[in-house]
Structure 1
Amino acid sequence: MTKQIIIASISLVLFSVAMPAMAASTFTGTLSTGVQTGISGVLVVSPTALPVAGTYDSAQSVKLSASGASSIHYFLNTTDLNDALTCSTGSVYDSSTPIQMTGSGLIRAIACYGSHASPIASFTYVINTSSTPAPSSGGGGGGSVTPPATTNPLIGDINGDGKVDILDFNALLVQWGMTGSNLTADLDNNGKVDILDFNILIIHWTS
């Protein structure tokens, strides 16, 4: 009897080691895969954005999509991340009218599948539209004047040490919530230091 218990215990241990880890998934409604799996439900996915979030030299028209969703709701440049984004709040995305990002900003969006909402997806865009003035022609000798070379400052480098790191993060925290002009941590130049500036700093973080 003792040997049988020991053998059974060893078999259970070997069986548990051989079994692969299983990941849980949540479905709602009806899922059709073309294969008889015994699982029913609708896969709820967060929206995606094109072009992808990042830094651009010109304004961008952002298109949102979510496979199978009945609608997409979004907030644009909402600084309070506690604002509730649900299938009955925010702006309803119209696929025929992309979101125009003419300046730096943050898009937060969810996909709605009936009464079920996806997790929130966030997309941060940094728009740098500054341009270098054209050089003026030289007088007298008829030759052209070459403008002096300029070095573009590193975006997010608040303390000017040539990299975006923890020191810049500390500088941003010191100025957090401040409003006005000439704020070094106001990276999007909107007159206040907030979550949008934090997002810009993280995007340009020096690895």
Structure 2
Amino acid sequence: MKKYFLLALAIIIAVPAYASEITGTLTTGVSTGIGGTVVSTPVASPVAGTYSSAQSVTLIATDTTSIHYTIDGVSPTCTTGTVYSGAISVSESETIRAVGCSGTTASAVGTFAYGINITPPGGGGGGGGSSGGIITPPLSGGTPGDITGDNVVDLLDFNAIVVDWGKTGSSLASDLNHDGVVDILDFNILIINWTI
């Protein structure tokens, strides 16, 4: 017990703290040696989600000199992607990835997935036409959301989505809504059909 008391006393004596009555600050005399720039991650408005009409997305990041973004599934850097200069028009389902930049120092990547489900107009009068509605690709048999083909939507299917997240292409089994990219919309289909 004496050893711990003496160790604590030695630390207290070795690291004095000073208080200033003028500024109200407390100085410990200890330096962390950590320095650098922290760049804020961009925020999108309106928030990511599913909408029934096209959206005009604004990106905001404080303490940055520029914002770079992509819509192709690849994460931007301070030297790649499109330099943000105004609202981004989103008229179809897509994911915006953005970084705030201060010189060449980048923030974490902000990811904003937008689902745009525009209801087609109804058919004309007089015996024909459609009733409108969202067009859903036909299922290729099996259980909706089942990526692994075991007729159960479970952790294995979730893992397949995670592994393929952000990938693009027309033959991805994890692309449940067949829009060419594995994203939040596919995850939503998986969760809706989750087997308990």
Give TM-score, length-normalised by structure 2: 0.58
Uncovered stretches (5+) of structure 2, i.e. residues with no partner: 13-22, 137-141, 146-151
Q: Give the C-alpha shift of residue 8 in structure 1.
A: 4.5
Q: CA 1:178 to 1:113, structure 2 compared with 1: closer, same or farther past 3 Å?
A: closer
Find out whether 1:118 has 2:107 as its counterpart.
yes
Aligned to 2:53: 58
Aligned to 2:43: 48
Letter in 2 for 1:92: V
Q: Give the C-alpha shift of residue 91 in structure 1.
A: 0.4
Q: CA 1:7 to 1:203, structure 2 compared with 1: closer, same or farther past 3 Å?
A: same
Uncovered stretches (5+) of structure 1, i.e. residues with no partner: 16-33, 139-146, 191-195
Aligned to 1:101: 90
Q: In the aligned structure 1, how far is the partner of 2:168 from the partner of 2:104?
A: 36
Find out whether 1:86 has 2:77 as its counterpart.
yes
| Aligned-residue identity in percent | 29
Q: CA 1:37 to 1:202, structure 2 compared with 1: closer, same or farther past 3 Å?
A: farther
Query: Residue 130 of structure 1 aligns to a residue in which SS?
Result: coil
Query: Residue 44 of structure 1 aligns to a residue in which SS?
Result: coil
Q: Give the C-alpha shift of residue 189 in structure 1.
A: 3.4
Note the alpha carbon deviations across 1:5-48, whole angstroms, 9 max, x for none: 36557x69xx9xxxxxxxxxxxxxxxxxx986879765411100
Q: Give the C-alpha shift of residue 198 in structure 1.
A: 3.7
> Which of the numbers 160, 166, 184 marks the counterpart of 2:154?
166
Query: Residue 197 of structure 1 aligns to a residue in which SS?
Result: coil
Note the alpha carbon deviations across 1:62-108, whole angstroms, 9 max, x for none: 10010121000011123xx4x6x2211110000xx311111011111
Q: CA 1:133 to 1:6, structure 2 compared with 1: closer, same or farther past 3 Å?
A: closer
Q: In the aligned structure 1, how far is the partner of 2:3 from the partner of 2:174?
A: 71
The root-mean-square deviation of aligned C-alpha atoms, in Å, is 4.6
Q: In the aligned structure 2, how far is the partner of 1:111 from the partner of 1:47?
A: 6
Query: Residue 40 of structure 2 aligns to a residue in which SS?
Result: coil
Q: In the aligned structure 1, how far is the partner of 2:174 from the partner of 2:78?
A: 38
Q: CA 1:159 to 1:178, structure 2 compared with 1: closer, same or farther past 3 Å?
A: farther
Q: In the aligned structure 1, how far is the partner of 2:38 from the partner of 2:114?
A: 28
> Which of the numbers 154, 161, 179 marks the counterpart of 1:189?
179
> Is the 8 Å Cα contact of residues 159 and 167 (structure 1) preserved in structure 2?
no
Q: CA 1:189 to 1:93, structure 2 compared with 1: closer, same or farther past 3 Å?
A: same
Give TM-score, length-normalised by structure 1: 0.55
Q: In the aligned structure 1, how far is the partner of 2:174 from the partner of 2:122?
A: 24
Aligned to 2:18: none
Q: In the aligned structure 2, how far is the partner of 1:102 from the partner of 1:8?
A: 69
